[in-house]
Amino acid sequence: MKLRKAVQTALRSLVLASLCGVAFNATAETPAAPQEPAKQLPLEELRLFAEVYDRIKNAYVEPVDDAKLLQDAVRGMLAGLDPHSNYMDAEEFESLQVHTSGEFGGLGIEVGMEEPYIRVITPIDDTPAQRAGVKAGDLITQLDDKPVASMTLEEAINLMRGEPGEPITLTILREGRDAPLQIKVVRDIIHVASVKSRLLEPGYGYLRITQFQVNTGKELIRQLEKLREEGELNGMVLDLRNNPGGVLQAAVDVSNAFLSEGTIVYTEGRLPNSDQLFEANGQTVAADLPLVVLINGGSASASEIVAGALQDQKRAVIMGTDSFGKGSVQTILPLAKDRAIKLTTARYFTPNGRSIQAQGIEPDIEVANAELKPLDSGVGHLKEKDLSGHLENGQNSEGEAAASRVQDKALLREDFQLFEALSLLKALSIVKLQDK
């Protein structure tokens, strides 16, 4: 009853403040909203809240903690706004900071669920797990003395993370070993690379961004320079498929690596500091390199900023399928006790003024993912090299050409969209040579 009276007193204070035109600002860090005429709070809804609160406290089948009930009310208030605004407790706030920074205390292994155990997909190079002898394919059955069979994958991952220097013992089942292994691993700072690179074949590079972290722009430039050390590049594929987004500034940095001038993205919102314009600063490292960008329905937010900027600026060919369509900006507003809210504060627009919200980026060339098996068109056809006594070619290019064909067929089987992107880059390279 005392708590109900306290809630009602607080509600009455809010009503009085509304009637008097007083603006409440919870923290000094929260930006002040534009001045609007004072409006009365809806008294009927406030009474309803107090009544529901009272009914839950008195009639719910089990006792409910007051702090949890109020915290859940805050969660519901934010969740009702849109799918991307939410409340974060201390643990969730810390997890968000880990994902955006790309650094955390842990073991350095990629894992997946294989009921009832956790399977090691791969240990990351030069991490505590690799140095301790953890191998791909290992099944983790216990973390210290806790069986993983009773955990979710997220719970197991959280348990493996921790302060650098803290040890944890993994109980592991390994193929070829009769008895379980116990491997002690000492946690360390793990750096998660958001950019991966490789050569598809000589002259054609591949950059894959898994998520947009604080240092993704710098990491992309390092990976690009690494590819250039292996030889001159005739074209590049930038793979943004299934990339959920991340830090806005990272998307600007990545776009700037390929754009020498012009607008990248701009945002508009109700707060004065929500209206921002981001332009290329001329410090591009690949302004003329032929570029194909791959997107799909899992490409969202920052991925769409990059794809939209490069598409509007006619800098790249966008290939794949329609992107997700998340064209809103979320601002992290810290609260007391290491908590925060993630609040949608603006919409973003491509250089040509397109809003991506609930629409997405349409590719210039639509290529759905598919599994294809190339037909052998040479069956039954006799060639010159099959004739008895044929003249030798006199050159050694056949081996290289055959190797290239083998690579193409393998790529065609593994990733049809990437195969098509590489084929387009080769065509663009041929046209570019003819223009010289």
Tens digits of per-residue pLDDT, 221-268? 999 999 999 999 999 999 999 888 989 999 999 999 999 999 999 999
For the ranges 306-310, 407-411, 427-431, the lowest mean pLDDT is seen at 407-411
Grouping H, G, I as helix, E, B as strand and the rest as coil, residue 41 is coil
Rounded to 5°, the CA angle 178-181-183 comes to: 165
Which strands sit side by side in the sheet containing 235-239, from one edge to the other? 195-201, 204-209, 235-239, 291-295, 317-320, 365-366
Name the token pair of 147: 């069986």
**Residue 333, phi then psi, degrees to nearest 5:** -110, 105
Q: What is the pTM of this model?
A: 0.76
Instruction: Tell me what pLDDT residue 21 has.
Output: 34
Q: Which residues pair with 238 in a beta bridge?
A: 207, 293
Average pLDDT in the chain: 85
For the ranges 125-129, 323-327, 362-366, 388-392, the lowest mean pLDDT is seen at 388-392
Q: Is the pLDDT of residue 395 over 50?
A: yes
Instruction: Tell me what pLDDT residue 48 has.
Output: 94
How many of the other CB atoms lie within 10 Å of CB of 304?
A: 29
Instruction: Give the span between the Cα atoms of 184 and 401, in whole angstroms.
Output: 49
In terms of Cα–Cα distance, which of 289, 291, 302 is closest to 253?
302
Q: Is the pLDDT of residue 340 over 70?
A: yes
Residue owning tokens 């791909």: 136
In terms of Cα–Cα distance, which of 294, 345, 112 is closest to 122?
112
Q: Which residues are catalytic?
A: 301, 312, 326
Q: What percent of the chain has pLDDT over 90?
A: 57
For the ranges 77-86, 161-170, 263-272, 372-381, the lowest mean pLDDT is seen at 372-381
Highest mean pLDDT: which range of 46-50, 90-94, 383-387, 390-394: 46-50
Residue owning tokens 């793979």: 239
Residue 216, H or E segment:
helix 216-228
